Structure 1
Amino acid sequence: MDQTTPVLLTSREVADLLRVPLRTVEDWRVTRSGPPWLKLGRHVRYDRDELLAWVKERRHG
């Protein structure tokens, strides 16, 4: 993949990466309080770069 091709993660991959329960990622999506996501047909995916930016925005201290 080149640098312009987005890396899309599943909800499980996001949960594993952030070390949170899958249910937490699902709750974030339902309440729209979590990272940006997109729907491809019936599949939910997260752009890795957008996910990492979302995490950095939440840094304290």
Structure 2
Amino acid sequence: MGNKLLTTKEAARFLNYTEGTLAVWRCNGTHDLPFIKIGHRIRYRTKDLADWLNKQLIK
């Protein structure tokens, strides 16, 4: 897993959300989901996605 960079489509599939949902989260800061912006491209690191998922765990 590690630091592989995923497109928004791949990240949405990884998290089981839509690309539109991730776009809204980026735009209004709904969730603290880290992303990388390279020019006009958005990328997500797999490690960041996995870490974010683990933070959502309610015990």
**Bucket of the pairwise TM-score, normalised by the shorter protein:** 0.7 to 0.9
Structure 2 stretches of 5 or more lacking a match? none
Equivalent residues of 1:25, 1:34 under 8 A apart = no
- 1:1-20 to 2 correspondences below 5 Å: 6-20=3-17
Between structure 1 and structure 2, the one with the greater Rg is 1
How many residues align structurally? 58
Q: What TM-score comes out, normalization by structure 1 length?
A: 0.81
Q: Which residue of 2 aligns with 1:53?
A: 51
5+ long unaligned stretches in structure 1: none
2-structure distance, mates of 1:8, 1:47:
5
TM-score w.r.t. the length of structure 2 is: 0.83
1:39 aligns with 2:37: yes
Structure number with higher relative contact order (C-alpha < 8 Å, ≥ 6 residues apart): 2
Cα RMSD of the aligned pairs, angstroms, is: 1.8
How many angstroms apart in 1 are the aligned matches of 2:13 and 2:3?
Answer: 19
